Amino acid sequence: MLPQVLASGLSAGSIYALMALALVITYKTTEVPNFAQGDMAMVSAFIAYMFLTDFETGFIFAFGAALVFAFLLGVGFEVLLLRRMRKPTHLNLIIMTLGFTLALFGFAGWKWGADQRQFPFPVSANEVIRFGSVSISTLSVATILIAGILMLLVFAFFRFTKLGVAMQATQQDPIAARINGVPARAVVGLTFGISSVIGTVAALLTAPLITLDPTLMWDALLKGFAAAVLGGLNTPVGAVLGGYLLGVIENLFGAYISVEFKSVVAFLIIVIVLWFRPSGLFGRHHERKV
Amino acid sequence: MSFFAVDGLTMRFGGLTALDDVSFEVDQGMIFSIIGPNGSGKSTAFNCISGIYQPTAGKIYFEGEGISGLAPHHIARLGIARTFQNIELFSTETTIDNLMLGRHQHMHSGVWSGVAMLGRATSAAREETENRERVQWIIELLDLVQVRDRPVGELPYGTQKRVELARALAMEPKLLLVDEPSAGMNADERAEVAERMRELRAELGVTILLIEHHVQLAIGLADRVLALNFGKPIAQGAPEEIRQHPEVIKAYLGDG
Amino acid sequence: MNDRHIDVVIEPTRDHYEDIQLFTARGSWIKLALLLVVLVSLPLLLPGYRVFTLNYMAVFVIVGLGMNVLVGYTGQVSLGHAGFLAIGAYTMVLLMTRLAVPFPIALVMAGCVSAFFGFLLGLPALRLAGPYLAIATLGFGLAVTQIIGHSALFGGHMGLVVPDAMVGPFPLSGDVSKYYVIVGITFVLALGVRNLSVTRVGRAFRAIRDSEIAAATMGVDVAYYKTLSFAVSAALTGVAGGLLALMTGFISPGVFTFTLSLMFLAMVVFGGLSSITGAVLGSIVMGYLNLEMDAFQELPVLGPALEGFSARFMSTVGLPNFGWVVTGMLIVFTILLEPRGLYGLWIRALDTMKYSKSADAELSRSGSGAD
């Protein structure tokens, strides 16, 4: 039973890790937890659905369109709303992301209704592959692979490309980065774009697993935050590890303790981590200077 | 044991040593100045004393008791008040409400008595009225009568500095830490600040620990002076000694 | 502004109670009397189903007061207040059905139990600021509905029927009798929160919002007051939950959603953070919006237009969701254009009026000077 539970945990954890990564890279740049992350991804998934069903395009075109839309949505959110606030206090920034998420939620419900829709996907959630005693759906295998590859790409981007390195420099020290000729504002916008794309990949992998409706990403958003808190809100690698860990813990809890209260695990983890190790398992604590 | 003493105070942030083995003693009723160029660790010392930073090493004693490691609100309750270099007022509140915050530790109403403030005779109302009367003289002393009911965020810089000082005085402290009272002021205003400090000591008998960038003001006011440079104490003594101390002169000339 | 200076100068022995007095001038007593007359006579003047709307708005106002204490005063965000509303509602109903506790006592208990959970949730605030707390409250709100939905004790997803309530010998049967209870409690709580805000505890709350460090160096135990504000806020919301159960007669986990929590946040943001009047106004507007969401197409003029637009570009079945778009946009544009909300607009209007008045005075003075 245990290997089976671990496999399910890894698959669920892939989604959480993607959400956590998306949340952390914007958090590192702006110190704002983006509560709109989930619904931005949800609306982008609906865009893919619209192309697939209304315009009957192929998967590649539909998913490509969704990712482009997600990128523009992320950049637009930062450039047109977050950046233009009169009093960008922490509280106001958080409230802004919440207002935006509510508007997106309403928009999706208005446009597509609250029906739970089957989301077409190239691989099936019902087709099963066996590895010894472990049986795992092709969708789960695809999820694990796609998420893994995407995250490696993101890390490679930040480490090895000129733009990625510049973005990281801005995250660490905006003023120094600006002095060195990195346009900080553009970088912040770009970060929101990239993070929105990552979140959307998570949404596109979630939708075929459950069904597509405006609440698609509520659960994933909470899990993403829980994973990020678990791993450390300031460490992308930690957050990703936190995602996998959360997936596994949650499935262990579901298998051995209680299935009904499985989703409460995320909340418990948040509270426990915040209580005993606020900087997360892999994060470092910074003392703020006055 | 002296009234207030700092013994071997050291504060490191990561690899940076902001304060390095600083010791001094302050007698009751004194004006004690800490001088030093920018970044010499003066404000860090204040933050350690008021409990905002936990010092890496060293002890702080107030009226014979060790206070290092206590939370800021405990230290405040012992009778230590402070102002900040970059004003930390409650900017959306009025002057009087800022001062009333200074009365916080001397008052007692909680949630229930606050909610049940239904008339002049209820306990919370009586307490409020009494304490408002009590701070009235501070408002008059620091010339804040005209801005009593205005949100402090919209007041000019110099006035905000006075409100902050008034708020600290409303706490009726035994030891007052004043951080850069003359920052951003011209010569006339500086003279006024000096006069005010002397007045406070004379009228209230409060002991003053003063951080001041402007050396002449700091030395002119003080009974005793400590000079810091790069977190290290370079000289300590009576004002005239410090004025002629070669290390101090060097530090300030080197600073430009 | 100038009058005030002169006041102070010519009146050295001022009455300090004036600062905190509830009703300072004779005018405010008249206003209060008017308000009471309106509140008392409203249910008699309006058609029956509108009284239900009023009750609903009053419940929202109580939540708004609670959100105001937490978000407006101490500057902490909660995305889980629907959870406290649920805790209050279920506590009251379970006490009444299982233990036959009379309604008034059950309602007080609803507030207490909710406050206890608020205190627990506020505990992490002892050590943490900003984002962490918001994240924890998000998890809290979702966890509460999860637990309720999966427990037989709470009636699971099917929900619970609320028993008939009595106040002493009087049964609360119709909307009108419930109205007087709900609005009466709302009125009293609003006065209580107002008193709290001008006294020591309220001042400490707001000090924490403006500068935690300065508050601590004034002797304010920041962690204690942050937790306390959570408890006070949760208590108010718990009472609101009990009253919501009373007025609707039925509760189920589907009521207490994440979006409802966001709507609660919207009320205080839109009304004006840290202003009681603002919170009340914002809550009334949002309460109305939330209740009327299913009936947008019945609005005069706007209704048919919306319906046409929906049929052409969006979807007609999804039209109720337009309410969430409006709520979200209200938050976004409030923060973007006037972070102090409706209250801020009011202040600005007053300032403009004052400014033009004093400018007039200035002109006439300089005019006479030239003569």
**Pairwise CB contact (< 8 Å): C207 & B132:** no
The reported pLDDT for the residue numbered C331 is 92
Q: In a 10 Å sphere around its CB, with 0-12 CB exposed, 13-18 middle and 19+ buried, how is residue A78 labelled? A: buried
Q: Is it the case that residue A290 has pLDDT exceeding 50? A: no
Q: Which residues of C156-170 are buried (b: 16+ CB within 10 A; e: fewer)?
A: eeebbebeebeeeee
Question: Is the CB of A289 less than 8 angstroms away from the CB of B13?
Answer: yes
Identify whether B147 is part of a domain. yes
Residue C40 within any structural domain of the chain: yes
- Find the range with the poorest average confidence among A195-199, B81-85, C12-16, C308-312: C12-16
Q: How many CB pairs under 8 A join A and C?
A: 167
Q: Is B86 part of any domain?
A: no
Question: What's the CA gap between B94 and C314, in Å, rounded?
Answer: 49
The nearest CA of chain B is from the CA of A45 a distance in Å of: 43
Interchain CB distance below 8 Å, B52 and A289: no
Residues of C in contact with A270 (CB under 8 A): 135-136, 139
Tell me how many domains chain B contains: 2
Distance from the C247 Cα atom to the nearest Cα atom in chain A, whole angstroms: 27
B46 and B16, same domain (yes or no): yes
Give the pLDDT confidence of C9-34 residue by residue, as tens digits: 444 456 777 777 766 656 678 888 88
Question: Considering only CB atoms, which chain A residues are within 8 Å of B47?
Answer: 290
Chain segment A213-223, per-residue pLDDT in tens: 999 999 899 99
**Residue C113 is assigned to a structural domain of this protein:** yes
Mean of per-residue pLDDT scores for chain C: 85
Does the residue C97 lie in any domain? yes
- Please indicate if any CB of chain A lies within 8 Å of the CB of C156: no
Same domain as B144, residue B129: yes
Residues with Cβ < 8 Å from C172, sequence gap 6 or more?
A: C103, C164, C165, C166, C178, C181, C246
Is the pLDDT at C98 greater than 50? The verdict is yes
In angstroms, rounded to a whole number, what is the distance separating the alpha carbons of residues A194 and B172? 55
Average of per-residue pLDDT across C315-338: 89
Structure tokens belonging to residue B25: 């003693």
Chain B positions in Cβ-Cβ contact with residue A287 (cut-off 8 Å):
13, 53
Is residue B206 within 8 A of residue B230, CB to CB? The reply is no
Rounded to an integer, the average pLDDT of C59-72 is: 95
Share above pLDDT 70 across residues of chain B, in percent, rounded to a whole number: 98
- Average pLDDT rounded to a whole number, residues B33-38: 88
**Is C8 among the domain residues?**
no
Considering just the CA atoms, what is the radius of gyration of chain A in Å?
19
Q: Give me the domain span that covers residue C196.
A: 36-256
Residue B7 CA to its chain's centroid (Å) = 19
A253: pLDDT strictly greater than 80: yes
Instruction: Outline where DSSP puts E strands in chain B.
Output: 4-13, 16-26, 31-35, 57-62, 65-66, 80-82, 175-179, 207-211, 224-229, 232-237
Q: Please check whether residue B47 touches A, CB under 8 A.
A: yes
Nearest CA in chain B to C14: B133
B241 and B57 Cβ atoms separated by less than 8 Å: no
Question: Which of the other chains make 3 or more beta carbon contacts under 8 angstroms with chain C?
Answer: A, B
In chain A the domains, ranked by start, together with CATH numbers, are 2-276 (1.10.3470)
Residue B7 lies in a domain: yes
Neighbours of chain B (3+ CB pairs under 8 A): A, C
Q: What percent of chain C has pLDDT over 70?
A: 88
Domain presence at residue C134: yes
The Cα of B52 is separated from the nearest Cα of chain A by a number of Å equal to: 8
Chain B within 8 Å of A287 (Cβ-Cβ)? yes
Ranges A153-157, B151-155, C91-95, C314-318: which has the least confidence: C314-318
d(CA A14, nearest CA chain C) in Å: 20
**Which pLDDT belongs to residue A255?**
86
User: Which residues of chain C from 55 to 74 reach within 8 Å of chain A, CB to CB?
Assistant: 71
Mean per-residue pLDDT of chain B: 89
Q: Tell me if B87 is assigned to some domain.
A: no
What is the value of ipTM here, to two decimals? 0.90
Burial of B151 (0-12, 13-18, 19+ CB in 10 A): middle
Residue B26: strand, helix, or coil: strand
State residue A176's pLDDT score: 67
pLDDT band for position C2 (cuts 50, 70, 90) = very low
What is the pLDDT at residue B254? 58
Query: What is the domain count for chain C?
Result: 1
Q: Is B63 helix (H, G, I), strand (E, B) or coil?
A: coil
DSSP string spanning B145-194?
A: GGGTTSBGGGS-HHHHHHHHHHHHHHT--SEEEEE-TTTT--HHHHHHHH
Question: Which residues does chain A have within 8 Å of residue C139's beta carbon, measured at their own beta carbons?
Answer: 222, 225-226, 266-267, 270-271
Contact A48, A197 (CB under 8 A): no
Q: Residue A91: which pLDDT band, with cuts at 50, 70 and 90?
A: confident
CA distance A211 to chain C (A): 17
Give pLDDT, residue A114. Answer: 81
Please say whether the dihedral angle defined by the alpha carbons of residues B19, B20, B21 and B27, taken in this order, is positive or negative: negative
Residue A134 has pLDDT above 80, yes or no: yes
Query: Could you tell me if A289 lies within 8 Å of chain B, comparing CB atoms?
Result: yes
> B92 and C4 in contact by Cβ < 8 A?
no
Whether residue C351 is contained in a domain is answered as: no
User: For the segment C228-284, what is each residue's pLDDT rounded down to a tens digit?
Assistant: 999 999 999 999 999 999 999 999 999 999 999 999 999 999 998 888 889 999 999
Domain identity same for B98 and B22: no
Q: What is the rounded average pLDDT of the residues A81-96?
A: 87
Name the more confident of A34 and A172: A34
Helices (H), chain A: 2-30, 37-53, 59-76, 90-112, 138-160, 162-172, 174-179, 184-206, 218-231, 236-256, 264-276
Residue C331 is assigned to a structural domain of this protein: no
Q: Which residue range forms the structural domain that includes residue B133?
A: 94-170
pLDDT at C129: 60
> Are B13 and A290 inside 8 Å of each other by CB?
no
Q: For C231, which residue in chain B has the nearest alpha carbon?
A: B111
Helix (H, G, I), strand (E, B), or coil: what is residue B19?
Answer: strand
| B71 and B107 belong to one structural domain | no
The residue among B170, B230, B180 whose CA lies nearest residue B200 is: B170
B167 has a chain C CB within 8 A of its CB:
yes
What is the 3-class SS of chain C, one letter each residue?
CHHHHHHHHHCCCCCHHHHCCCCCCHHHHHHHHHHHHHHHHHHHHCCHHHHHHHHHHHHHHHHHHHHHHHHHHCCCCCCCHHHHHHHHHHHHHHHHHHCCCCHHHHHHHHHHHHHHHHHHHHHHHHCCCHHHHHHHHHHHHHHHHHHHHHCCCCCHHHCEECCCEEECCEEECCHHHHHHHHHHHHHHHHHHHHHHHHCHHHHHHHHHHHCHHHHHHCCCCHHHHHHHHHHHHHHHHHHHHHHHHHHHCEECHHHCCHHHHHHHHHHHHHHCCCCHHHHHHHHHHHHHHHHHHHHHHHCCCHHHHHHHHHHHHCCCCCHHHHHHHHHHHHHHHHHHHCCCHHHHHHHHHHHHHHHHHHHHHHHHHHHHHHC
Specify whether the backbone of A31 is left (phi greater than 0), alpha (psi in -120 to 50) or beta.
Answer: left
Residue of C nearest to A32 (CA): C131
When pLDDT is cut at 50, 70 and 90, the band that residue A185 belongs to is confident
Nearest chain A residue to C339 by CA: give it.
A87
Tell the residue number behind the tokens 């001022």, with chain if given.
Answer: C14
B positions 6-25 inside 8 Å of A (CB): 13
Cβ neighbours of C329 in A, within 8 Å? 99, 103
Query: So what's the pLDDT on residue A258?
Result: 81
Nearest chain A Cα distance for residue C278, angstroms:
17
Provide CB contacts within 8 A for B66, sequence distance 6+. Answer: B59, B60
Alpha carbons A233 and C269: distance in angstroms, whole number: 27
Question: What is the DSSP track for A200-220?
Answer: HHHHHHHTTTS-BSTTTTHHH
| pLDDT value for B256 | 42
- Chain A residue with the nearest C-alpha to that of B86: A290
Does B47 contact A290 at a Cβ distance shorter than 8 Å? yes
Which chain B residue is nearest to residue A287, measuring alpha carbons? B13
Residues A290, B52: C-beta atoms closer than 8 Å: yes
CA of B251 vs chain C CAs: smallest distance (Å): 32
Question: What CATH number is given to the structural domain containing B11?
Answer: 3.40.50.300
B1 or B29: which leads in pLDDT: B29
Q: Per the domain annotation, does B85 fall within a domain?
A: no
- Residue C133, CA distances (Å) to A95, A166, C130 in order: 13, 31, 6
Question: What is the pLDDT confidence band of residue B250, given thresholds at 50, 70 and 90?
Answer: confident
The answer on B183 and B157 residing in a single domain is no
Is C131–A271 a contact, with Cβ atoms under 8 angstroms apart?
no
Instruction: Inspect the interface and report whether the beta carbons of B109 and C198 lie closer than 8 Å.
Output: no
Mutation pick from C29, C191, C217 vs chain B, by most beta carbons of B within 10 Å, is: C217
Same domain flag for B180 and B57 = yes
Look at B125 and C20 and tell me if their CB atoms are within 8 Å.
yes
Q: Please tell me whether residues B71 and B183 are part of one structural domain.
A: yes
How far apart are alpha carbons C94 and C246 in whole angstroms?
A: 12
Q: CB-based contacts of C368: which residues, under 8 Å, 6+ apart? A: none
Task: Collect all residues of chain C within an 8 Å Cβ-Cβ radius of residue B99.
Answer: none
The most distant pair of C-alpha atoms in chain A lies apart, rounded to whole Å, by 59
Q: What is the mean pLDDT of chain A?
A: 87
Predicted pLDDT at B214: 86
Section C208-227 average pLDDT: 92
Q: Does C332 touch chain A (CB under 8 A)?
A: yes
- How many angstroms separate the CA of residue A89 from the nearest CA in chain B? 14
Question: Is residue C214 a part of any domain in this protein?
Answer: yes
Mutate to test the interface with A, among C78, C138, C211 (most CBs of A within 10 A): C138
Q: Does A130 touch chain B (CB under 8 A)?
A: no
B185 or C5, which is more confident: B185
Lowest-pLDDT range, A113-122, B201-210, C123-132?
Answer: C123-132
